[in-house]
Amino acid sequence: MTNKESKGCLHQIKKIILWFFVLQLVYIVLCKWIDPPITITQITNSFEGDGLKRDYIGYDEMGRNIKLAVMASEDQLFAEHNGFDMKSIEKAIEYNEKHPKKTRGASTISQQTAKNVFLWQHGGFFRKGLEVYFTFMIEKIWGKERILETYLNVAEMGPGIFGVQAAARKYFKKDAINLTPREAAMIAACLPNPKKFTVVPTSRYVNKRANKIMQQMNFLSGDGAIESLLK
């Protein structure tokens, strides 16, 4: 390849990278108002035979209980941090160094939303790096309410079941807004591994975890920053 051809190839690569950056930025902005049409995880589940059950709903249709339950379960500092819980990350790193065979995560709701909407479930440092970028962007562009709304619409809550409305209809034959605190806690309890921890029939883990989540829900209820997200 000649020097001229090398420069031309490099120029084309730069153009592709620039267009990729512009397009993903446009998609991030659009998703502030428009629900993601599909995610990589949803596509993967369909190909693996789990199907795709989802029903996107608006923030006001989700109800107080499920919002409080997922914050109590997944990210109690969600209303306060900038997308990353640095103390939890430090603790997770320290734990993982001492227990290399049992890893512990520290992903916030913002990070999980970024991963669920824009990325894939597994991967190494490359995916983690992208996750940091997308988390930063949605925190700046979307804001907390939109992040929580999107998370509750796209998170997997059972094999092939995405979003709280689909989960509420599947497990309790009701809309998400009508979930009781206990029902919301049960759905939140399955989130670490929704294919393994079953809501109905209720696995031992979900039953035990739901009790702890309800305690944390009572603890968080009344907090000013949390209450502002529960309206």
pLDDT beneath 50, residues of the chain: none
Report the distance separating Cα 146 and Cα 151, nearest Å: 8
Direct distance between the N- and C-terminal alpha carbons of the chain, in angstroms, rounded to an integer: 62
- Stated as kind and residue range, the H or E segment containing 125 is helix 125-141
Q: Which domains does the chain carry?
A: 41-74+81-221 (1.10.3810.10)
- pTM for the whole structure: 0.89
Residues 106-143: tens digit of each pLDDT: 689 999 999 999 998 877 888 899 999 999 999 999 99
Write down the pLDDT at residue 180.
Answer: 98
The residue with tokens 């306060």 is: 80
pLDDT tens digits for range 39-65: 999 999 988 888 899 999 999 999 999
pLDDT of residue 106: 64
| CA 173 – CA 169 distance, rounded (Å) | 4
Report the pLDDT value the prediction gives residue 30, as an integer from 0 to 100: 97
Contacts of 167 (CB under 8 A, 6+ apart): 157, 158, 161, 176, 187, 199
